[in-house]
Amino acid sequence: MTAWIIQIYVLLHATLAFDSPNYWAGNLLIVLGLLLFWHCVKVTRTRKLTLAFSVDAPEHIYQIGPYGYVRHPFYLSYLAAYFGMAIAANDVWLYLTAAVMYVLYYYAARFEEAKFEKSQLSGHYAEYRRCTGMFLPRMRRLGGRRC
């Protein structure tokens, strides 16, 4: 993912206005997405994750690191990069691409959550789902209250 973002970024970089607020806001979002991505990689190294749209049964629920705040932080990191590039370039096609990717990741996340709801982890996952947002943290969780 990082290499892909860097390639797209380099291609877009030549056409961007450095003095634009969009440029700086978009780049900040890209960097935050990359930082989140690598944090997710670090947290998930010990146990495998399933691929999007796979039919295997879930074996565990991550609740540490970014998973303590959102249920799908990898997807959030990808979306931050997509929307960051769209904002930086202020390009309608990139906004459209980001929106399409949001829909794709939303359906992938719902598919994964349906697997948890049918698994032996369904009770634990229901509580986890109550405490965390799909892509954005729940406000009560940010306030420090534990679920």
* pLDDT over 60 (residue 18): yes
The pLDDT of 22-29, averaged and rounded, is 90
* pLDDT over 90 (residue 19): no
Beta-carbon count within 10 A of 6 CB: 13
The band of 13, judged by pLDDT with boundaries at 50, 70 and 90, is low
pLDDT, tens digit, 9 for 90 and up, residues 94-143: 899 999 999 999 999 999 999 999 999 999 999 999 999 999 998 765 55
